Protein backbone atom coordinates (compact mmCIF):
# COMPACT_ATOMS: atom_id res chain seq x y z
CA UNK A 1 0.00 0.00 0.00
CA UNK A 2 1.08 3.58 -0.57
CA UNK A 3 2.42 5.56 2.39
CA UNK A 4 -0.17 7.63 4.20
CA UNK A 5 0.31 11.31 4.94
CA UNK A 6 -0.16 12.00 8.65
CA UNK A 7 -3.42 13.94 8.68
CA UNK A 8 -6.50 13.85 10.84
CA UNK A 9 -8.81 11.01 9.93
CA UNK A 10 -12.13 12.03 8.42
CA UNK A 11 -15.47 10.38 9.21
CA UNK A 12 -15.12 7.52 6.72
CA UNK A 13 -11.68 6.63 8.07
CA UNK A 14 -12.97 6.83 11.63
CA UNK A 15 -15.76 4.41 10.75
CA UNK A 16 -13.31 1.94 9.22
CA UNK A 17 -10.86 2.29 12.10
CA UNK A 18 -13.59 1.69 14.66
CA UNK A 19 -14.65 -1.43 12.74
CA UNK A 20 -10.97 -2.54 12.65
CA UNK A 21 -10.97 -2.59 8.85
CA UNK A 22 -7.42 -2.24 7.51
CA UNK A 23 -7.04 0.72 5.15
CA UNK A 24 -4.75 3.61 4.26
CA UNK A 25 -5.88 7.23 4.04
CA UNK A 26 -4.62 9.17 1.04
CA UNK A 27 -4.67 12.88 0.32
CA UNK A 28 -5.27 12.82 -3.42
CA UNK A 29 -7.89 14.05 -5.81
CA UNK A 30 -8.26 10.89 -7.86
CA UNK A 31 -10.24 12.56 -10.62
CA UNK A 32 -7.88 15.46 -11.23
CA UNK A 33 -4.19 16.29 -11.14
CA UNK A 34 -1.06 14.16 -11.10
CA UNK A 35 -1.18 11.00 -9.01
CA UNK A 36 1.48 10.27 -6.38
CA UNK A 37 4.25 7.83 -7.27
CA UNK A 38 3.14 4.23 -6.88
CA UNK A 39 -0.55 4.91 -7.55
CA UNK A 40 -1.91 3.29 -10.71
CA UNK A 41 -4.95 5.03 -12.21
CA UNK A 42 -6.54 1.65 -12.97
CA UNK A 43 -6.82 0.94 -9.22
CA UNK A 44 -8.93 4.06 -8.59
CA UNK A 45 -12.70 3.55 -8.53
CA UNK A 46 -15.52 6.08 -8.76
CA UNK A 47 -18.79 5.76 -6.87
CA UNK A 48 -21.80 6.47 -9.06
CA UNK A 49 -25.34 7.01 -7.80
CA UNK A 50 -28.22 6.05 -10.07
CA UNK A 51 -31.95 5.63 -9.73
CA UNK A 52 -33.82 2.57 -10.91
CA UNK A 53 -37.35 2.74 -12.25
CA UNK A 54 -38.45 0.04 -9.78
CA UNK A 55 -36.06 -0.06 -6.82
CA UNK A 56 -34.96 3.55 -6.43
CA UNK A 57 -31.30 4.48 -5.77
CA UNK A 58 -28.60 2.02 -6.85
CA UNK A 59 -24.83 2.45 -6.37
CA UNK A 60 -22.29 1.35 -8.98
CA UNK A 61 -18.55 1.41 -8.29
CA UNK A 62 -16.26 1.14 -11.31
CA UNK A 63 -12.69 2.06 -12.33
CA UNK A 64 -12.35 5.72 -13.30
CA UNK A 65 -10.86 4.49 -16.57
CA UNK A 66 -14.11 2.72 -17.53
CA UNK A 67 -17.74 3.59 -18.35
CA UNK A 68 -20.72 2.19 -16.48
CA UNK A 69 -23.14 -0.04 -18.36
CA UNK A 70 -26.54 1.16 -17.21
CA UNK A 71 -28.14 -1.80 -18.98
CA UNK A 72 -26.09 -4.34 -17.01
CA UNK A 73 -26.67 -2.53 -13.72
CA UNK A 74 -30.40 -2.30 -14.36
CA UNK A 75 -30.67 -6.04 -14.95
CA UNK A 76 -28.60 -6.88 -11.87
CA UNK A 77 -30.59 -4.56 -9.62
CA UNK A 78 -34.03 -5.72 -10.77
CA UNK A 79 -34.86 -2.65 -12.84
CA UNK A 80 -35.88 -2.15 -16.45
CA UNK A 81 -33.65 0.90 -16.60
CA UNK A 82 -31.45 3.05 -14.39
CA UNK A 83 -30.27 6.64 -14.86
CA UNK A 84 -27.66 8.83 -13.21
CA UNK A 85 -29.04 10.97 -10.41
CA UNK A 86 -28.69 14.68 -11.34
CA UNK A 87 -25.93 16.48 -9.45
CA UNK A 88 -28.45 18.85 -7.87
CA UNK A 89 -30.16 15.86 -6.25
CA UNK A 90 -27.04 13.94 -5.21
CA UNK A 91 -26.50 15.31 -1.72
CA UNK A 92 -30.10 14.87 -0.64
CA UNK A 93 -30.06 11.30 -2.01
CA UNK A 94 -26.69 9.94 -0.86
CA UNK A 95 -25.58 12.60 1.63
CA UNK A 96 -22.57 13.53 -0.51
CA UNK A 97 -21.79 16.04 -3.24
CA UNK A 98 -20.43 15.09 -6.66
CA UNK A 99 -16.89 13.70 -6.33
CA UNK A 100 -17.34 12.72 -2.68
CA UNK A 101 -19.74 9.79 -2.98
CA UNK A 102 -18.30 6.75 -1.29
CA UNK A 103 -19.57 3.27 -0.37
CA UNK A 104 -18.73 3.46 3.34
CA UNK A 105 -20.60 6.69 4.04
CA UNK A 106 -23.55 5.74 1.86
CA UNK A 107 -23.93 2.34 3.54
CA UNK A 108 -23.93 3.98 6.99
CA UNK A 109 -26.96 6.07 6.00
CA UNK A 110 -28.86 4.06 3.40
CA UNK A 111 -29.79 0.47 2.47
CA UNK A 112 -29.19 1.10 -1.24
CA UNK A 113 -27.89 -1.91 -3.21
CA UNK A 114 -24.19 -1.50 -3.99
CA UNK A 115 -22.40 -3.17 -6.90
CA UNK A 116 -18.63 -3.29 -7.44
CA UNK A 117 -17.31 -4.05 -10.89
CA UNK A 118 -15.75 -7.50 -10.71
CA UNK A 119 -12.43 -6.18 -12.05
CA UNK A 120 -11.73 -5.05 -8.47
CA UNK A 121 -11.19 -8.68 -7.52
CA UNK A 122 -8.07 -8.76 -9.67
CA UNK A 123 -6.46 -6.07 -7.52
CA UNK A 124 -4.61 -6.33 -4.23
CA UNK A 125 -6.01 -2.95 -3.21
CA UNK A 126 -8.42 -0.42 -4.67
CA UNK A 127 -8.85 3.30 -4.04
CA UNK A 128 -12.21 4.99 -3.45
CA UNK A 129 -13.30 8.38 -2.16
CA UNK A 130 -13.25 8.90 1.59
CA UNK A 131 -16.26 11.23 1.50
CA UNK A 132 -14.40 14.51 0.98
CA UNK A 133 -12.89 16.06 -2.13
CA UNK A 134 -9.15 15.40 -2.04
CA UNK A 135 -9.42 12.50 0.41
CA UNK A 136 -9.40 8.82 -0.55
CA UNK A 137 -8.85 5.43 1.05
CA UNK A 138 -6.83 2.49 -0.20
CA UNK A 139 -8.29 -0.85 0.85
CA UNK A 140 -8.57 -4.51 -0.11
CA UNK A 141 -11.61 -4.96 -2.41
CA UNK A 142 -13.11 -7.94 -0.58
CA UNK A 143 -12.75 -6.24 2.82
CA UNK A 144 -14.58 -3.17 1.56
CA UNK A 145 -17.28 -5.15 -0.24
CA UNK A 146 -17.97 -7.26 2.84
CA UNK A 147 -18.18 -4.18 5.06
CA UNK A 148 -20.66 -2.33 2.85
CA UNK A 149 -22.55 -5.50 1.81
CA UNK A 150 -21.72 -5.02 -1.87
CA UNK A 151 -21.96 -7.48 -4.75
CA UNK A 152 -19.26 -8.03 -7.37
CA UNK A 153 -20.50 -8.16 -10.96
CA UNK A 154 -19.67 -7.15 -14.52
CA UNK A 155 -21.12 -3.61 -14.72
CA UNK A 156 -18.85 -1.81 -17.19
CA UNK A 157 -19.49 -1.22 -20.88
CA UNK A 158 -18.11 -3.64 -23.42
CA UNK A 159 -17.70 -7.38 -23.50
CA UNK A 160 -16.08 -9.13 -20.60
CA UNK A 161 -12.36 -9.67 -21.15
CA UNK A 162 -11.34 -13.28 -20.69
CA UNK A 163 -7.92 -13.64 -19.09
CA UNK A 164 -6.10 -16.92 -19.71
CA UNK A 165 -3.24 -18.40 -17.68
CA UNK A 166 -1.07 -21.00 -19.45
CA UNK A 167 1.10 -23.19 -17.24
CA UNK A 168 3.44 -25.93 -18.44
CA UNK A 169 3.43 -29.19 -16.53
CA UNK A 170 6.11 -29.64 -13.91
CA UNK A 171 9.46 -31.22 -14.73
CA UNK A 172 9.30 -35.02 -14.62
CA UNK A 173 11.79 -37.85 -14.12
CA UNK A 174 11.85 -38.48 -17.89
CA UNK A 175 12.54 -34.76 -18.52
CA UNK A 176 15.52 -35.13 -16.20
CA UNK A 177 16.74 -38.16 -18.14
CA UNK A 178 16.20 -36.50 -21.53
CA UNK A 179 13.58 -39.03 -22.58
CA UNK A 180 10.65 -38.19 -24.87
CA UNK A 181 7.18 -38.41 -23.26
CA UNK A 182 4.69 -37.07 -25.82
CA UNK A 183 1.02 -38.06 -25.64
CA UNK A 184 1.58 -41.71 -24.69
CA UNK A 185 4.55 -41.78 -22.31
CA UNK A 186 4.47 -40.35 -18.78
CA UNK A 187 6.52 -40.21 -15.60
CA UNK A 188 6.16 -38.70 -12.10
CA UNK A 189 6.86 -35.06 -11.27
CA UNK A 190 10.13 -34.34 -9.51
CA UNK A 191 9.93 -33.27 -5.84
CA UNK A 192 11.51 -29.91 -6.74
CA UNK A 193 8.80 -29.35 -9.36
CA UNK A 194 6.05 -30.12 -6.85
CA UNK A 195 7.53 -27.54 -4.49
CA UNK A 196 7.67 -24.93 -7.26
CA UNK A 197 4.05 -25.63 -8.24
CA UNK A 198 2.90 -25.25 -4.63
CA UNK A 199 4.60 -21.83 -4.51
CA UNK A 200 2.96 -20.88 -7.81
CA UNK A 201 -0.43 -21.96 -6.48
CA UNK A 202 -0.01 -19.77 -3.41
CA UNK A 203 0.93 -16.84 -5.65
CA UNK A 204 -2.29 -17.36 -7.65
CA UNK A 205 -4.43 -18.18 -4.62
CA UNK A 206 -6.59 -15.04 -4.73
CA UNK A 207 -7.21 -15.04 -8.50
CA UNK A 208 -10.96 -15.65 -9.12
CA UNK A 209 -10.62 -18.35 -11.78
CA UNK A 210 -13.82 -19.44 -13.53
CA UNK A 211 -12.49 -22.73 -14.91
CA UNK A 212 -9.38 -24.90 -15.08
CA UNK A 213 -8.44 -27.24 -17.94
CA UNK A 214 -5.64 -29.75 -18.51
CA UNK A 215 -4.95 -32.76 -20.68
CA UNK A 216 -5.79 -36.12 -19.13
CA UNK A 217 -2.13 -37.15 -18.88
CA UNK A 218 -1.09 -37.87 -15.27
CA UNK A 219 1.76 -35.31 -15.28
CA UNK A 220 -0.54 -32.48 -16.39
CA UNK A 221 -3.40 -33.49 -14.09
CA UNK A 222 -0.99 -33.66 -11.15
CA UNK A 223 0.49 -30.26 -12.07
CA UNK A 224 -2.92 -28.60 -12.28
CA UNK A 225 -4.24 -30.19 -9.10
CA UNK A 226 -1.26 -29.03 -7.03
CA UNK A 227 -2.02 -25.45 -8.08
CA UNK A 228 -5.78 -25.75 -7.60
CA UNK A 229 -5.29 -27.11 -4.08
CA UNK A 230 -3.75 -23.74 -3.10
CA UNK A 231 -6.63 -21.56 -4.35
CA UNK A 232 -8.84 -19.71 -1.89
CA UNK A 233 -11.95 -20.68 -3.89
CA UNK A 234 -12.26 -24.42 -4.71
CA UNK A 235 -12.29 -25.19 -8.42
CA UNK A 236 -12.79 -28.55 -10.13
CA UNK A 237 -10.27 -29.52 -12.80
CA UNK A 238 -11.62 -30.44 -16.23
CA UNK A 239 -9.22 -32.94 -17.80
CA UNK A 240 -9.60 -33.83 -21.47
CA UNK A 241 -7.60 -35.82 -24.06
CA UNK A 242 -8.26 -32.95 -26.49
CA UNK A 243 -5.42 -31.02 -24.80
CA UNK A 244 -2.82 -33.78 -25.18
CA UNK A 245 0.40 -33.24 -27.15
CA UNK A 246 0.05 -34.39 -30.75
> What pLDDT is attached to residue 41?
85
> What pLDDT is attached to residue 244?
86
Q: Is the pLDDT of residue 1 over 60?
A: no
Looking at the DSSP bridge assignments, the partners of residue 153 are: 117
With CA atoms as reference, report the closest residue to 245 among 180, 177, 187, 176.
180
Q: Is the pLDDT of residue 4 over 60?
A: no
Pairing of β 237-239 and β 135-139? unpaired
Q: Is the pLDDT of residue 208 over 90?
A: no
* Position 7 confidence tier, pLDDT thresholds 50, 70, 90: low
Q: Is the pLDDT of residue 13 over 80?
A: yes
What is residue 42's DSSP assignment? G
Q: Is the pLDDT of residue 30 over 70?
A: no
What is the pLDDT averaged over residues 133-153? 94
Provide the 3-class DSSP secondary structure of residue 151.
strand
Spell out a b/e string for 55-66, using b for 16 or more CB atoms within 10 Å of the CB, else e: eebbbbbbbeeb
pLDDT in tens, 80-126: 999 999 999 999 999 999 989 999 999 999 999 999 999 999 899 99
> What pLDDT is attached to residue 234?
86
Q: Is the pLDDT of residue 6 over 60?
A: no
* Position 9 confidence tier, pLDDT thresholds 50, 70, 90: confident
> What pLDDT is attached to residue 222?
96
What is the pLDDT averaged over residues 188-215? 91
Report the predicted TM-score, pTM, of the whole model to 2 decimal places. 0.65
Q: Is the pLDDT of residue 54 over 70?
A: yes
Rg (the chain; Cα; Å):
23
- In angstroms, the CA 170 to CA 33 distance is 47
Amino acid sequence: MAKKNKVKKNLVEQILTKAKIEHVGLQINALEGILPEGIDRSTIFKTLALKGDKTGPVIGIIPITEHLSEKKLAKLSGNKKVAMIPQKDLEKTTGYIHGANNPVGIRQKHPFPIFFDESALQLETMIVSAGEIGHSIQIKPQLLADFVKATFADIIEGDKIVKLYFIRHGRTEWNEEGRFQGSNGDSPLLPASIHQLEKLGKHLASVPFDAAFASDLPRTVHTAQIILDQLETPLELQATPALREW
